[in-house]
Structure 1
Amino acid sequence: MFSLIVGLFLFLGIHSISIIAEDFRNSMAAKSEKGWKAIYSLISVVGIVFIAKGYAALRFEPVVLYVVPYWLKHLTYLLMLPAMILFVAPYLPGKIKQATKHPQLIAVKLWALSHLLVNGMLADVILFGAFLIWAGVDRISISKRKPRVAVRLKADGVNDVIAIILGVVLTGVFVLYLHQLLIGMPLIF
């Protein structure tokens, strides 16, 4: 469990710098944006490695907190489709991004919630619960922060179509192949 907690602390911690220390984040980025992004990325990757190792280790010693009905699996599949579309939408600005404002945070919430619906082990509740709470706190925090200017693609309706196609393809690839490859859990039995 220690590795999972350390990984969550590192990954969500670095992703929370703007929530708890926005001035620090801005000063680091002002000194060297590439340097800040390199440190941010390195800490994120180390966090992911710890999360993966800790989560895998906890799955070998399962602690059941709750059991869910089988049919919720289908709801999870259904929720993951918009999650994947919303996950790519910020990179392809259009009406989806405009309507949702922070589509990637909504995607994280849908991902975490949908996985909590079908996974009742302690490791699952810690992992997905942490991401769900973090996304909620970050969304509240964003509304209180000054928006950052970012160079992005021009908003276009074609981007929505591309985001939807990419989201559908990503969902299909995850269901059929990547989830088993990356997580070790096949989704199609």
Structure 2
Amino acid sequence: MALLVAGLVLFIGVHSIRIVAAPWRAAQIERLGIRAWRGIFALVSILGIVLTVAGYGLARRYPVPIWLPPFGMAHVTGLLTAIAFVMMTAAYVPGNHIKRALGQPFVSGVALWAFAHLLANGTLHAMLLFFVFLVWSLIEVRAGRRRDREGGVVYAPGSVALDAVVVVIGLVAWGIFAFWLHALVIGVRPFG
């Protein structure tokens, strides 16, 4: 469990710098340059992911059950994560209604993904992982909206055609992950 916690501290920590230490972040970017900053950010993020995945894998060997999810919760989680994938996709397709409505669709999608996984997982390590991501993403959504207001950010009007592109790409990505990559990468088949 210590490895999981260390990975979460690194990953969430580096992704929280903009929230808790924006002036320090700006000073480091000025001092190091944007490319060096992004490189360091990427290395720490990757290390955090590796430690989180390794720690989660070790914790799964000796699970500590907290509660038993109700029958069928995997299907609710599947539906919510499909929506989350669409939301995350909306962050990268300019001019869609989802991005305009949410402002922070990627992090909002992460929040929904984490919430969905809390519904379907009742072990201590799973609850820790998904609760940390849920809390962080909700804080980041709020901070991002505040940054947008302060910066006068106005998102482009959406188009139905781009909304359709977002939905199709999001659902295809979700399908690939849910039915193939989840078992390969995570070791769990969400739908049996």
Alignment match, 2:103:
101
d(CA) in 2 for partners of 1:178, 1:148: 39
- 1:156-182 superposed Cα distances (whole Å, 9 cap, x missing partner): 523322211111101111121010011
Shift of 1:17: 0.3
How high is the sequence identity, in percent, across the aligned residues?
35
**1:74 Cα shift?**
1.2
Asked if residue 165 in structure 1 is aligned to residue 160 in structure 2, the reply is no
Q: Which residue of 2 aligns with 1:185?
A: 188
Q: Which runs of 5+ in 1 are unaligned?
A: none
**Alpha-carbon deviation of 1:186?**
1.3
**AA at the equivalent of 1:123:** H
Question: Would you say 1:43 and 2:41 are equivalent positions?
Answer: no
Letter in 1 for 2:7: G
Query: Normalised by the size of structure 1, how large is the TM-score?
Result: 0.92
The letter for the 1-side match of 2:137 is A
Do the aligned partners of 1:92 and 1:155 also contact (CA within 8 Å) in 2?
A: no
CA distance in 1, matches of 2:152, 2:39: 19
Aligned alpha-carbon RMSD (Å): 1.8
Quote the offset at 1:144 in angstroms: 3.4
- Which ranges in structure 2 are unaligned for 5 or more consecutive residues? none
Residues 58-95 of structure 1: CA deviation (Å, up to 9, x unaligned): 00011001111112111111101110011111110221
Residue 138 of structure 2 aligns with an amino acid whose one-letter code is G
Structure 2 counterpart of 1:126, one-letter code: L
Match of 1:120 in 2: 122
Contact 2:89-2:169 within 8 A present in 1 as well: yes
